[in-house]
Amino acid sequence: MALKNHQPLDPAYLEKLQDYYAEHKVIPSYSVLATLWGISAKSWVSECVRRFEEAGYLDWTPDRQLKPGARFFERRLAHDTVQAGLPNPALSDGYDLVTIDDYLVRVPSKTSLVRVKGESMIDAGIHDGDLIVVEQQPNANVGEIVVAIVDNEFTVKYLDREKGGFVLKPANKAFPVIRPQGRLEIFGVMAGLVRKTR
Amino acid sequence: MALKNHQPLDPAYLEKLQDYYAEHKVIPSYSVLATLWGISAKSWVSECVRRFEEAGYLDWTPDRQLKPGARFFERRLAHDTVQAGLPNPALSDGYDLVTIDDYLVRVPSKTSLVRVKGESMIDAGIHDGDLIVVEQQPNANVGEIVVAIVDNEFTVKYLDREKGGFVLKPANKAFPVIRPQGRLEIFGVMAGLVRKTR
DNA sequence: CGGTGCACAGAACGATTGTTCGGTAAGCTA
DNA sequence: TAGCTTACCGAACAATCGTTCTGTGCACCG
């Protein structure tokens, strides 16, 4: 059998695991890992896993199931271009980012998307047709951008307080402040924004 | 023991699983699923999993390990008109399902993300810290927003033409037009924008 | 030259896995 | 009222899991 010598042992293994995870969205069992890595002893897989765990690439759930660790998704935002060795382009912090969904959505069951209508929030960089990522919750703090329900329609506005009552302030001088009579129904708080331009 | 009657059986279970997955990035075992769902028989978990699999929310790896299915990452898109019975956002009615990645990324292999630095495009609703979804390609049309490489850094600007040469125009009167000497190196064209606000 | 690591193989084993099958209680239908 | 379906429970069981422990061969080192 062909024996291979990995000098640092790590990087090839990790990449294969990452590719597997990218395809299946799941960490495989030790025996699958063994064939994936070309190893024939589970004991050695166990040892390798331990090292990846030490390095922060793997982790365990409270139920002692193997899962991706904090550094597992480490990856450049912008990859180096096709050619011309330009240096690491401006990605300040080491971002971990699997998918855009993951970047924006913290609690899937409480998150939904709302399409923006009109230009009333244009000074906040929110344009007609943008999608707002909303975390559903019944109340919010002054200053946050909220999605409220006014006249059976979603409205995106800043939440503010005026003489003891809540008001909805647009980010556009051409639009009026909304002072709801009665109770203000808040659908959720803006957690992000998605715009498609092509 | 308190028994619960789920009419459609599905949505609450799925949401809990999605939240679990969002936290741990892994599908748990049947016994963990049982406690997660408040079920005490693995056989019933097995049946529920089968239904989710039939519906496309779960799937199996070639090694028969449970993994997220094609529809697992779908997100609710709330329409701009709210129907009356809102409190529990019922699936299907009034909601389209979409994953943000699919919405923004057409060609994964040619798409990357670039973080915006500065306020030079603020009039186009592009803020400092936003992520630009870029489709990599070496040239673009006048009027498109492009990501170019100037002085070894990414720059987001409108592409325009001036006296036979290409120039990069900011969307902010306080910033100057960039007139590159020599060839303009275009990294790609903006296809979307992602902003995280929470 | 002998020794001491290191990178792996292989077997053994208890724990946990998911499946199968049979049972029960409630609700609808006729 | 009987009968069927649905939503669950519980036990049993073979398969698979991950751990542990004991080799083995090569490489470097003095």
The model's pLDDT over A119-145, given as tens digits with 9 standing for 90+, comes to 999 999 999 999 999 999 999 999 999
Residue B92 contacts A where some CB pair is shorter than 8 Å: no
- Which chain A residues have a beta carbon less than 8 Å from that of B187? 81
Q: Within 7 Å: CB of B40 and strand C?
A: no
How does pLDDT run across A19-62, given as a tens digit for each residue?
899 899 999 999 999 999 999 999 999 999 999 999 999 999 99
Contact A145, A134 (CB under 8 A): no
Taking each helix axis as running N to C, give the angle between helix A30-37 and helix A42-54, from 0 to 180 degrees, rounded to the nearest 10.
90
Owner of token pair 């709801």: A180
CA nearest to A130 within chain B = B193
pLDDT of residue B80: 53
Looking at the domain covering B11-98, what would its CATH class be? Answer: mainly alpha
CA distance A31 to A2: 20
pLDDT of residue A97: 53
Q: Do domains B11-98 and B108-194 have the same CATH topology?
A: no
- For the beta carbon of residue B100, count every other beta carbon within 10 angstroms: 25
Looking at the domain covering A10-68, what would its CATH class be? Answer: mainly alpha
Q: Taking 50 as the threshold, does the pLDDT of residue B83 lie above it?
A: no
Residue B180 contacts A where some CB pair is shorter than 8 Å: no
Q: Taking 80 as the threshold, does the pLDDT of residue A9 lie above it?
A: no
- For the beta carbon of residue B75, count every other beta carbon within 10 angstroms: 23
Average pLDDT of A70-75?
80
pLDDT of residue B158: 96
Q: Taking 50 as the threshold, does the pLDDT of residue B65 lie above it?
A: yes
Q: Within 7 Å: CB of A61 and strand D?
A: no
CA distance B88 to B15: 13
CA distance A123 to chain B (A): 8
More confident residue, B143 or B99: B143
Contact pairs from chain A to chain B, CB under 8 Å = 207
- For the beta carbon of residue B182, count every other beta carbon within 10 angstroms: 6
Contact B146, B159 (CB under 8 A): yes
Residue burial B49-68, b: 16+ Cβ < 10 Å; e: rest: beebeeeebbbebeeeebbb
How does pLDDT run across B19-54, given as a tens digit for each residue?
999 999 999 999 999 999 999 999 999 999 999 999
Residue B131 contacts A where some CB pair is shorter than 8 Å: yes
Separation of CA B177 and C1' D29 in angstroms?
65
Q: Taking 80 as the threshold, does the pLDDT of residue A10 lie above it?
A: no
Closest nt by CA–C1' to B38: D8
Residue A41 contacts B where some CB pair is shorter than 8 Å: no
CA distance B158 to B189: 10
Which CATH code, of 3.40.50.720, 3.10.180.10, 2.40.160.40, 2.10.109.10, is assigned to A103-194? Answer: 2.10.109.10
Question: Torsion angle, CA of B128/B134/B138/B141, rounded to 10 degrees?
Answer: -80
Interface test with A, best of B37, B99, B104 (most A CBs within 10 A): B104
CA distance B75 to B96: 8
Looking at the domain covering B108-194, what would its CATH class be? Answer: mainly beta
Domain extent listing, chain B: 11-98, 108-194
Nucleotides of D under 7 A from a protein CB: 7-12, 16-22
Active site residues of B: 120, 157
Instruction: Write out the DSSP string of B88-155.
Output: S--SSTTEEEE-HHHHH-S-GGGEEEEE--SSTTGGGT--TT-EEEEEE-S---TTSEEEEEETTEEE
Contact B142, B102 (CB under 8 A): no
How does pLDDT run across B149-158, given as a tens digit for each residue?
888 888 999 9
Residue A81 contacts B where some CB pair is shorter than 8 Å: yes
CA distance B165 to B162: 5
More confident residue, B94 or A40: A40
Active site residues of A: 120, 157
Q: Taking 70 as the threshold, does the pLDDT of residue B192 lie above it?
A: yes
Q: Tokens representing A152?
A: 């059976």
Q: Give which of A53, A61, A101, A68 is closest to B20, Cα–Cα.
A: A61
The H or E element that residue B30 is part of is: helix B30-37
